[in-house]
Chain A
Amino acid sequence: AQSVAQPEDQVNVAEGNPLTVKCTYSVSGNPYLFWYVQYPNRGLQFLLKYITGDNLVKGSYGFEAEFNKSQTSFHLKKPSALVSDSALYFCAVREGSGTYKYIFGTGTRLKVLA
């Protein structure tokens, strides 16, 4: 069965330091992977996606993600964290090549400390 895991409920990082939010997946076939961000009491906003191509994907607001097929991971990264990056981050995977259903992780709360 397809699945996605975010092993950390919360990540704390100091402002200006690099940040990493982890995601691992399990799918049959080629993975379609996504990162979304949610601010309090708001809907999700798309950050970036990996469908095919370069393993390093660049997205919105200076975020990037590294696809690693051997480790089945798709970690979200940013070189220098901002306090305004504090939010809930979701990794998602498309359930299969023949469907447009998506499985979301449980979310990781990022807290950037001033």
Chain B
Amino acid sequence: GAGVSQSPSNKVTEKGKDVELRCDPISGHTALYWYRQSLGQGLEFLIYFQGNSAPDKSGLPSDRFSAERTGGSVSTLTIQRTQQEDSAVYLCASSLDTSGARAYFGPGTRLTVL
């Protein structure tokens, strides 16, 4: 595709349910990043992939959060037993590599936990 795509664009769920957020990076981009954007919290790093491996998972807030990437392409961020504080916009970005290449951001998934 022409850019990074994310689905769903909006997700409303009940507290305690599991959710899956999907990211389709730009074809050929080896690096993929997940961030969370909350009001007043700025852009919070969650996890970063180089190919299918995740060299840095330090930003995952708790063990309820996990992510995987398959085939060096699509990535899924899973949040188990969602809590109200998980409500945020989840952004995915990809870049050609991990050098000075720019990162292209997707439109985000707005998650609301009731």
The answer to whether A binds B is no
Residues of A in contact with B (beta carbons under 8 Å apart)? none
Residues of B in contact with A (beta carbons under 8 Å apart)? none
